Structure 1
Amino acid sequence: MTSFEMVITVAIVVAATLFTRFSAFLIFPPGKKAPAFVQYLGKALPAAVMGMLVVYTFKDTVVISYPYGVPELIALLVTAGMHLWKRNMFMSIGAGTIVYMLIIQNI
């Protein structure tokens, strides 16, 4: 792929991303109430996405051989504890990731 083709590809991706982000404001302008189904999705999807990410994160964890999933369990407990303590998703995910990386680098 040439440099020009890469620039065109990035431009198309940027345009598509901006279109999908801004189209919601065109479809649901301020002052107009969103349909009940869309409001339901707004409440249900964040928890569903987080659940899917947890399943994806732990799907390859091997608990029958060393280190028996202990680093993953510690990182999970740190993440959950930080979230319960600070109620900040980014801080809790970041802390759990840092703890996990420090643990696996020292195994």
Structure 2
Amino acid sequence: MSALEMLVMIAAGALATQITRWASFLAFPTAEKTPKVVTYLGTVLPATMWGLLIVYCFRTSDPLSGYHMAPELLAAAVVVGLHLWKRNMSLSMIGGTLVYMLLIRTVFPLA
């Protein structure tokens, strides 16, 4: 890939990022009240994201083989525990991911 092609790709990525950041301000000026559908989506999408993450994380797990999903279930318990304790989605996801990676690399390496 030539230097010009790399420059064009970087510029395209930067432009796409800026367009997505400006779009919300253009669609919803500050003088107007936030539409009800946007407010509704803001309340339901976090729970929807958790549901998608749960399905994604457990989609390939097989309870009948190996360690019977022990690493996945232990990491999920850590996520729930951290979230109930701190109510911080980022901390919960990062903590669960770290515990899962630690478990599959050290305690359950053949799972």
TM-score for both structures, normalised by structure 1 = 0.90
Q: What residue identity is the alignment partner of 2:28?
A: F
CA distance in 2, matches of 1:14, 1:80: 36
Could you list the runs of 4 or more consecutive aligned residues of structure 1 that deviate by over 4 angstroms after TM superposition?
none
Q: 1:2 to 1:42 in 2, by over 3 A?
A: same
Residue 40 of structure 1 corresponds to which residue in structure 2? 40
CA drift of 1:37 comes to 1.5
CA drift of 1:6 comes to 2.3
By relative contact order (CA 8 Å, sep 6+), the higher-ranking structure is 2
What 5-or-longer segments of structure 2 have no aligned partner? Answer: none
RMSD of Structure 2 on Structure 1 (CA): 1.3
Query: What do the CA deviations read for 1:8-50 (whole angstroms, capped 9, x no partner)?
Result: 1122122112111211112112231122112211212221122
Residue 96 of structure 2 corresponds to which residue in structure 1? 96
Residue 5 of structure 1 corresponds to which residue in structure 2? 5
CA drift of 1:4 comes to 2.4
CA drift of 1:92 comes to 1.3
Residue 50 of structure 2 corresponds to which residue in structure 1? 50
Question: Alignment length, in residue pairs?
Answer: 107
Query: What do the CA deviations read for 1:55-80 (whole angstroms, capped 9, x no partner)?
Result: 11110011110111110000000011
What 5-or-longer segments of structure 1 have no aligned partner? Answer: none
Local SS of the residue matching 1:61: coil
CA distance in 1, matches of 2:3, 2:104: 38
Residue 18 of structure 1 corresponds to which residue in structure 2? 18
CA distance in 1, matches of 2:103, 2:13: 37
Q: Percent identity?
A: 45
Q: What residue identity is the alignment partner of 1:33?
A: K
Local SS of the residue matching 1:82: helix
CA distance in 2, matches of 1:102, 1:95: 11
